[in-house]
Amino acid sequence: MAFTKPSVKLGLPRMGQGSDRHTDTNELLSPGVLIAYRARPGTDYPNQATKDAVQAAAVQARNIVRIANDMLAKVVLLRRPESQLFIDTMATHFKLIAGDLAGGLLKDNIVDKPFSPKAVFVHDRRWILERIRQKMLSLSFHLNTGVYLIDQDTSTRDVFNGAPGTVGQAPYSNWVGYIHFRGTQTAGGSLCGFRNGEIHISFDHFLGYSLNTNACIIIHEAAHKFLGVKGDIYGDNPNYPPDLQNKGGSLDNADSIAWTAISLATGAVRMQNSGSTDFEQCPGPAL
């Protein structure tokens, strides 16, 4: 069901700078998945294949994060043993390597460390896992209560930051997604969806990537929007993941969160190195 954006219909001002808008149409793809794009009269844009790809990725993203959150809760809250998949995923995407003290950040890093009341306030492995769990819980809440995805439309877009521009000259022309940060950010969960700008994705790219790669893009951008994480070292970067102990490190890195979720949910460590084909063609069926 497509309709003119209410903000356009009512002539409401933008939340950001300028007054021009690059989208004018909303379409409800399914309960919980709303998209926005610029209508192109006389054309079939976005075509049904594109809308199907976006819809499938949105559903996959929320299912992936829900499954990953459940797995983290079992380990952290219910104290279930860490599986080898869990151990390897944390090492690969957060540099939470068993036995490694992360440059002095941790007092100890013991897998399945026995419970002790004295350890409740200790900076150990479980302290890090709890921080990751909280992030995944917040993401699961937001993605499973509805997602709004805006087409960044780099092929025809001529409005940037509320002002007229030249097609093809957007600073994010080669990106597959982005959000605009608003104000000072502090990494951590937030229940306020207006804390940052909306999730923009490249509809065009979604036809060329696999289902799980598209889901990864949505999870990555959702981590920026809802968690306020600013780290943008991608999985195809040889320096991925950033060191755990550094400010802006792996706990504040969107791809670390996204690939952890996908790895736990799909049963295999994804994006194991910078040359992995998972970056564009991560395998796996719909969940």
pLDDT, position 122: 94
pLDDT of residue 248: 79
Residue spans per domain, the chain: 47-145+176-281
- Dihedral sign of CA atoms 157, 161, 164, 165 in order: negative
Find all residues with CB under 8 Å of 129, minimum gap 6, and list them: 72, 75, 76, 90, 96
The whole-number pLDDT of residue 194 equals 63
pLDDT tens digits for 271-286?
999 999 999 999 999 9
Tell me the sheet residues that pair with 34: 28, 148
163: which strand partners? 160
Mean pLDDT of 248-259: 95
Whether 14 shows a pLDDT value over 90: the answer reads no
The amino acid at 58: A
Residue 195: band (very low, low, confident or very high) from pLDDT cuts 50, 70, 90: low
| Structure confidence at residue 188 (pLDDT) | 45
Q: How many alpha carbons lie under 13 Å from residue 235 in its C-beta half-sphere?
A: 30
pTM: 0.94
Residue entry with tokens 């026995």: 114
Please give the mean pLDDT across all residues of the chain. Answer: 92
DSSP states along 206-245: HTTS-HHHHHHHHHHHHIIIII---B---TTSTTPSPPTT
Q: pLDDT value at position 35?
A: 98
Model pLDDT, residue 172: 76
State the average pLDDT over residues 77-102.
Answer: 97
Q: Report in angstroms the alpha-carbon separations of 73 from 183, 203, 270.
A: 32, 33, 21
